[in-house]
Amino acid sequence: MSETGAGRHVPPRDSGHGGRGDDVTREAVLARAFVRLADTLASDFDIVDFLHGLAEDSVEILRAAAAGVMLVDAHGGLRLIASSDERMRLLELFELQGAQGPCLDAFSSGRAVQANAADGRVRWPVFAPQASGAGFQVMCAVPLRVRTDVIGALNLFRGSDEPFTGTEMEIAQAMAEMAAIGLIQERALRERNLLAGQLQAALNSRVIIEQAKGMIAEYLTMTVDEAFKLLRSYARYNNRKLSEVASDVVHRRIPSAALGRPRGQQS
């Protein structure tokens, strides 16, 4: 980044136009895009918004006509998650349906791919004519990759026949990798929070089941073992979780007397 000049004057954060020409503007836009790509750990993170942002930023920064992002699903197949416009969305759906195209190649090889209209017709005889028909002459795709893990691909199309330069391909790859790192971190955090929540629920339910046993034993004048049998058969008969029924008993949403009725299936 260029220096902002001597003195204490601090330009506002959103001033991307430093008056130094296109390169400075593009650098600033790129820097802001990278900040957005790193920002995946917020509590209100939304993966679809995030990938739409990636598609839109890459269109702007790389002077593309359209961009789209595909992610691998739990079964190993690609799914279209975000597109910069409707034309692109239809084309990418077509790419998935026909099982050929730049995104699929970038995903399966883990490498960037690029083709002009003529090359494209050789590589992807079904897909390339569709792309040309939609007005795209240059097609490229880069993998969403972290080291050896490939989790998707970013598709970039141009309407003119000017190919993406080596630098532009590098920038596209860097943006895709940054997005992949952000997504993997977000997934790890979400998984951890889920596991911690399950552990806490398990710890709590143990306490609450014992409390419910004591409460039932007292209300119905029986041993805690007998109370547990009642609690368990009530939960089974009503097809509910033991810990949920225990919680209802402890909070008096189920009167203990109701557990002992014939419908509770006790002998």
Query: Up-side HSE of residue 212: CA atoms within 13 Å toward CB?
Result: 30
Which residue lies nearer to other proteins by CB, 99 or 203? 203
Task: Name residue 15's amino acid.
Answer: S
- Kindly state the smallest distance separating residue 231's Cβ from other proteins, in Å: 11
For residues 68-127, which are near other proteins according to CB under 8 A? none
The structure tokens 């050789």 sit at 122
Q: Which of 203, 237, 255, 258 binds other proteins (CB under 8 A)?
A: 203
Q: Write out the two tokens for 24.
A: 């400075």
Binding status of residue 202 toward other proteins by CB under 8 A: yes
Binding status of residue 131 toward other proteins by CB under 8 A: no
For residues 210-239, which are near other proteins according to CB under 8 A? 210-219, 224
Q: Which of 2, 109, 204, 265 binds other proteins (CB under 8 A)?
A: 204
Please identify, among the stretches 18-26, 76-84, 154-162, 191-199, the one whose residues bind other proteins according to the rule CB under 8 A.
Answer: 191-199
Q: Which of 118, 199, 257, 258 binds other proteins (CB under 8 A)?
A: 199
Which residue lies nearer to other proteins by CB, 62 or 216? 216
Please state the φ and ψ torsions of residue 84, each to the nearest 5 degrees.
-75, -20
Please identify, among the stretches 79-87, 122-130, 134-142, 189-197, the one whose residues bind other proteins according to the rule CB under 8 A.
Answer: 189-197
Sorted by sequence, the CB contacts under 8 Å of residue 153 that are 6+ apart come out as 69, 70, 78, 102, 103, 104, 106, 107, 141, 142, 143, 144, 176
Please identify, among the stretches 48-56, 100-108, 112-120, 190-198, the one whose residues bind other proteins according to the rule CB under 8 A.
Answer: 190-198
Binding status of residue 159 toward other proteins by CB under 8 A: no
Rounded Cα distance, 208 and 214, in Å: 10
Rounded Cα distance, 55 and 72, in Å: 17
Strands 66-72 vs 138-146: parallel, antiparallel or unpaired = unpaired
Which residue lies nearer to other proteins by CB, 71 or 246? 246
For 192, the 3-state DSSP assignment is helix
Which residue lies nearer to other proteins by CB, 93 or 195? 195
Binding status of residue 243 toward other proteins by CB under 8 A: no
Return the CA Rg of the chain: 29
Rounded Cα distance, 89 and 82, in Å: 8
Q: Which of 206, 236, 261, 263 binds other proteins (CB under 8 A)?
A: 206
For 235, the 3-state DSSP assignment is helix
- Kindly state the smallest distance separating residue 186's Cβ from other proteins, in Å: 11
Binding status of residue 200 toward other proteins by CB under 8 A: yes
Binding status of residue 253 toward other proteins by CB under 8 A: no
Is residue 54 a contact partner of residue 69, using CB atoms and an 8 Å limit?
Answer: yes
For 116, the 3-state DSSP assignment is strand
Residues that bind other proteins (rule: CB under 8 A) add up to a total of 28
Q: How many CB atoms lie within 10 A of CB 136?
A: 24
Q: What does the binding site for other proteins look like in residue numbers (CB under 8 A)? A: 189, 192-193, 195-196, 198-204, 206-208, 210-219, 224, 250, 256
